[in-house]
């Protein structure tokens, strides 16, 4: 099963929404710089750039989201979970942080947490197709686990 991350178009849409709310080309450059650093594998630089920006724009959801993706790339799983969780608390209407939490939880084998995060994503934004796709993957994995467990407990196929 493959969990899909937020597509780049969703990330761009979130960036556009943040830009409209914040109003400025300077922010676009900062977002772009952090995203480019992540793509180039310069994860520590990306996190440092995000932190620098966030020092004066603490509540910016787009930069915080980008920082969370950089934290994942850096292997800073607990920090990324904290970043995405705080985003879901402060901006529950944004489905992308829930989706990214679900991807992390699924990788850790915490399928119930992944399911709950994805259910929150689709409840808060019923048009977010990526979350539905990932939720289908999680349901399939949960079904397989239940089937495998029934086989080890002496169950027989019908």
Write out pLDDT tens, residues 22-76.
545 567 799 999 999 999 999 999 999 999 999 999 999 999 999 999 999 999 9
- The pair of three-digit structure tokens given for residue 3, joined into one six-digit string: 């969990």
pLDDT attached to residue 6: 47
pLDDT attached to residue 4: 57
- The pair of three-digit structure tokens given for residue 31, joined into one six-digit string: 């977002």
Give dist(CA 119, CA 95) in Å, integer: 10
Give dist(CA 120, CA 111) in Å, integer: 14
What is the pTM assigned to this prediction? 0.78
CB 121 within 8 A of CB 100: no
Give dist(CA 126, CA 148) in Å, integer: 32
Per the prediction, the chain carries an average pLDDT of: 86
pLDDT attached to residue 142: 94
Is pLDDT of 83 > 80?
yes
- The pair of three-digit structure tokens given for residue 64, joined into one six-digit string: 């915080």
Reported as a single tens digit per residue, the pLDDT across 98-142 is 999 999 999 999 999 999 999 999 999 999 999 999 999 999 999
3-state secondary structure the chain: CCCCCCCHHHHHHHHHHHHHHHCCHHHHHHHHHHHHHHHCCCHHHHHHHHHHHHHHCCCCHHHHHHHHHHHHHCCCHHHHHHHHHHHHHHCCCCHHHHHHHHHHHHHCCCHHHHHHHHHHHHHHCCCCHHHHHHHHHHHHHHHHHHHHHHHHCCCCCC
Instruction: Give the other-Cβ count within 10 Å of 73's Cβ.
Output: 17
């Amino acid at each position: 099963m493959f969990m899909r991350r937020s597509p780049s178009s969703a990330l761009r849409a979130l960036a556009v929404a943040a830009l409209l709310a914040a109003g400025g080309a300077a922010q676009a450059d900062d977002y772009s710089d952090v995203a480019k650093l992540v793509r180039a594998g310069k994860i520590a630089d990306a996190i440092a750039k995000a932190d620098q920006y966030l020092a004066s724009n603490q509540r910016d959801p787009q930069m915080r989201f980008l920082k969370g993706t950089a934290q994942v790339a850096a292997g800073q799983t607990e920090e990324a979970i904290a970043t995405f969780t705080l985003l879901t608390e402060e901006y529950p209407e944004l489905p992308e942080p829930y989706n990214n939490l679900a991807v992390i939880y699924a990788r850790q084998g915490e399928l119930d947490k992944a399911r709950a995060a994805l259910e929150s994503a689709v409840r808060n934004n019923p048009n977010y197709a990526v979350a539905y796709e990932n939720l289908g993957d999680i349901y399939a994995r949960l079904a397989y686990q239940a089937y495998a467990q029934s086989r080890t407990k002496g169950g027989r196929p019908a």
